[in-house]
Structure 1
Amino acid sequence: MSDRRLTPATDRVILSSAAADADGRRVTDGEPARIGVVLAELLAAPDGKRDRQLVFGADVTVVERRDGWAFVQASRDGYCGWVATSDLTDGQARITHRVSAPETHIYPAPDMKTREAGWLPMNARLTVDEVQGRFARLATGGWVPVQAISDRFATDPVATAESLLGTPYLWGGNSRHGIDCSGLMQAALFACGMSCPGDADLQKAAFEPVEQAERGDLLFWPGHVAMACGDGRMIHATAWQMRVIHEDIASAIARIDAAGEGPFRGARRPVGAALEM
């Protein structure tokens, strides 16, 4: 049985890339679109439960539109689900930068003393039209501090994950305002230009196992994932403390086993296809 999270099809329409499983559904090539809001909720069904979130500037393919909802497939990780059609834009301007800080404000003018007009999360994808002093003007409107953006990927997933220490735990979350275990791994790897699936089980299946965990390797339990920091500690978003924390790996293995949520499933090294900005 196909995994609904990775199957670009509704009960009525299927993307041409999966046409072999059409089974009477209308086949479509889909339409390109881009997330035009700070965070779009990616839902299992229209107005249903949250599976994940998509950040500003994420590219998607729209498979079907229905009653104010759009069924989409995310370009970066192939995750499928429903978003509000109001969250989409057809803008396809070339992406030049990404938000490299945990989050940043958008200002109506290149002046930090003006009242902010909004915010953007880490990994939001941006088109910068010009730079004026310490601010960059976005093609979509507003100005962001140049210190918070980059035209390059980061190089250290652990340091990137650690910049999100203290972030509140949120099931299916993908931002500084709330993140879960697999969302933290994906955010850290995306920031370093590394492809990464959206959920822990998909991450475990995507990466190769290693005998000895090194810095940046992922550590797995049933339904949970963390990242090794290389000093006997790991970083993870945990419902145990409801935030992103450091924890001693050996202590975590013992604690999770004692809670009946084990066993430890080993380490895997995240090596995958490189992303485009």
Structure 2
Amino acid sequence: MTRRRVIHPVVDLLRQPDGPRDRQLLFGDTVEVVETLTGWSRVTADKDGYPGWVASDQLAEPVPDTHWITAPATHAYALPDMKSPDRVSLSFGSKVLVLSEQNTFLETELGFIPAVHAKLNATRLTDPVSVAELFLGTPYLWGGNSRFGLDCSGLVQAGLLACGLPCPGDSGDQERELGETLPKGTPAKRGDLLFWKGHVAWVYGDNMLLHANAFHMDVTFEPMDQAVTRILEQGDGPVMAHKRL
């Protein structure tokens, strides 16, 4: 197998060549190439083991990244000047190789990124719920994993990976693998996860959830009791699990 690196800002991880999107990869993510067809590579993502297909021209030889993007999103500029043309936008979680530091900018292969938008790659954040809060207002996107669009499990994974905690990509696997299942009726506290069939939400605190959902079509706060009632009444069933990390 061969390791490759994602070289586009956001890349769809497909079920089969030209098939539906299951998840997404971000600039700088690394993968193991398991198989190649004309124009396509079947890969496994290093960050979570998720398999899928990507267009081969979206991959290149890996380089040792030095920093990762910790702002919700950032721009890479043509010059170390915020008034210069912006070349590309990167999402939270993208990984870059910094070539030099110039004034308040980091020079990368894509251009100059504001230094305040990135941290050294060994840096880990400490509160996954606060990370998830950075995505407030992000449009809902089935299988999405970026600031430009994400789904419920993508929001959970973004928070945990940023804090150095392993997390699978899909809500079903997250329910099976994350945390401790709590007895029904246990009071929820900040950082808990509530799972429905096909959905997951962060407990933000004080009867409030933070989740990416197709009802609001974005990442939003919603009162917990309201969400539980709404999801049940719309036919998606009751809470299946309450888990604590």
What's the TM-score once normalised by structure 2's chain length? 0.94
* Letter in structure 1 aligned against 2:80: P
Conservation of the 8 A alpha-carbon contact between 2:88 and 2:110: no
Give the aligned partner of residue 121 of structure 1: 91
CA-to-aligned-CA distance 1:227-248 (integer Å, 9 cap, x gap): 0112221100010011111011
Identity %: 46
The superposition leaves residues 56-95 of structure 1 with CA deviations (integer Å, 9 ceiling, x where unpaired) of: 11110000110100000001110000000011011232x2
TM-score by length of 1: 0.84
Letter in 2 for 1:255: R
Measured in 1, the distance between the counterparts of 2:52 and 2:35 equals 11
Matched, 1:231 2:206: yes
- Please name the residue that 2:104 is paired with: 134
Alpha-carbon deviations, 1:104-157, whole Å to 9, x = none?
00011110000100111010011212211110011x231100111112121111
Q: 2:59 maps to which residue?
A: 88
- Take 1:65 and 1:184, find their aligned partners in 2: how far apart are those partners? 30
Determine which of 246, 258, 262 is the counterpart of 2:237.
262
CA contact (8 A) 2:153 2:199 kept: yes
Gapped regions of structure 1 (runs ≥ 5) = 1-29, 271-277
Q: CA deviation at 1:215?
A: 1.3
Q: Does 1:181 align with 2:152?
A: yes
Partner of residue 164, structure 1: 135
1:210-229 correspondence to structure 2 within 5 Å? 210-211=182-183, 212=186, 213-229=188-204
CA RMSD in angstroms, aligned pairs only: 1.1
Contact 1:40 1:55 (C-alpha < 8 Å) held by counterparts: yes
8 Å Cα contact 1:33-1:92 kept in structure 2 = no
Give secondary structure in 1 for the equivalent of 2:124: coil
* Structure 1 residue runs of 4 or more that deviate by more than 3 Å after TM superposition: none
* 1:273 equivalent in structure 2: none
Give per-residue Cα distances to partners, 1:147-202, cap 9 Å, x unaligned.
11112121111111111111111100111111111111111111222111001001
Aligned equivalents of 1:141 and 1:230: distance in 2?
39
Q: Report the Cα offset of residue 261 of structure 1.
A: 0.7
* Structure 2 counterpart SS, 1:251: helix
3-state DSSP of counterpart to 2:235 = coil
CA apart distance, 1:210: 2.7
**What amino acid does structure 2 have at the position aligned with 1:123?**
G
- Equivalent in 218, 221, 227 of residue 243 of structure 1: 218
- Corresponding residue SS for 2:36: strand
Q: Give the deviation of 1:259 after TM superposition.
A: 1.4
Distance 1:228 1:132 in 2: 41
Which amino acid counterpart does residue 130 of structure 2 have in structure 1? A
Which amino acid is 1:113 matched to?
A: K
